[in-house]
Amino acid sequence: MRILYFGDVVGRSGREPVIARLAELRKTLKLDFVLACGENAAGGFGITAKICRQFYEAGVDCITLGNHAWDQREIIGHIDGDPRLIRPLNYPKGTPGRGAKVYETAGGRKVLVVQVMTRLFMDPLDDPFPALDRVLGQHRLGAAVDAVIVDMHGEASSEKMALGHFCDGRASMAVGTHTHVPTADAQILPGGTAYQTDIGMCGDYDSVIGMKKEIALPRFIRKMPGERLAPADGEGTLCAIFVETDDATGLARRIAPVRLGGRLEEAMPTL
């Protein structure tokens, strides 16, 4: 199975290239399943139902969220009725939406998507480790499902690395989102799980993690609140991760970064 996961989509500069280029990428990489982290898609803060529809129409199969899940208040009433929208699993009981779901591809294969949010330097949610352990125990890779995708949404690289090793052998891939900077550690762990600490963002890299630098810089220099942060609006770079799994086991055979357009050096796997 071939899977593509777009990192945090930040504002219009991130949305437009994802929507414009996904059909081409689906064909070139012969993709079976596509995800995007959409929690910054609406002006850098949250996502709307309209943007969800635009992603689905473009060919995205599942959208993940994160710590900005509820920034656009309309999504609170929308998420229960949108089975393709995933928020962190370890929100407290009673939170709207779902943190894990099994999807079926056009070819009939079953894919479990799980998102957890880490706790170091983040909101103190429930412990992600036992929450993840329960779901992985209920959906055995290579038996109940053909692929398992784990999104680790968090700030600390150490915590995401720990979660990656915790998933090793039980997930097809465990990849990080949230920090908006692509890490250079794409690898297959000893147990067969594809891992990268952070996919990076889809957005304008002439910025401060996707936000206009002329607004973000004074906050660091003066240590005072100022103008509301807004997404940079230059040409966006697509940052994604491509994973190919073994059809028999569901474990990873290959992991490779995808970077297209904008300021970063391009990278594209060949089949």
Here the CATH number for the domain that contains residue 246 is 3.60.21.10
Per-residue pLDDT at 108:
96
Structure tokens at 256: 């490779």
Per-residue pLDDT at 226:
80
Residue 197 in any domain: the answer is yes
- Distance separating alpha carbons of residues 32 and 197, to the nearest angstrom: 23
Please give the residue range of the domain that contains residue 137: 2-260
Say whether 68 is catalytic.
yes
78-136 pLDDT, tens per residue?
999 999 999 999 999 999 999 999 999 999 999 999 999 999 999 999 999 999 999 99
Residue 268 in any domain: the answer is no
Structure tokens at 179: 């920090």
Residue 27 in any domain: the answer is yes
Residue 269 in any domain: the answer is no
Structure tokens at 47: 């996502």
Average pLDDT, the chain: 97
Q: Indicate if the alpha-carbon torsion angle 16, 19, 24, 26 is positive or negative.
A: positive
Per-residue pLDDT at 92:
95
Residue 213 in any domain: the answer is yes
Residue 265 in any domain: the answer is no
| Average pLDDT of span 37-60 | 98
Residue 192 in any domain: the answer is yes
Q: With cut-offs at 50, 70 and 90, classify the pLDDT of residue 56.
A: very high
Residue 168 in any domain: the answer is yes
46 to each of 9, 20, 40, 121, how far by Cα in Å? 10, 21, 5, 19
Helix intervals (H) in the chain: 11-28, 49-58, 74-78, 128-138, 157-167, 213-222
Q: Kind of pairing, strands 110-117 and 147-153?
A: parallel
For residue 146, give the 3-state DSSP assignment: coil
214-260 pLDDT, tens per residue?
999 999 998 887 889 999 999 999 999 999 999 999 999 999 999 99
Per the structure, the count of domains in the chain is 1
pTM of this structure: 0.96
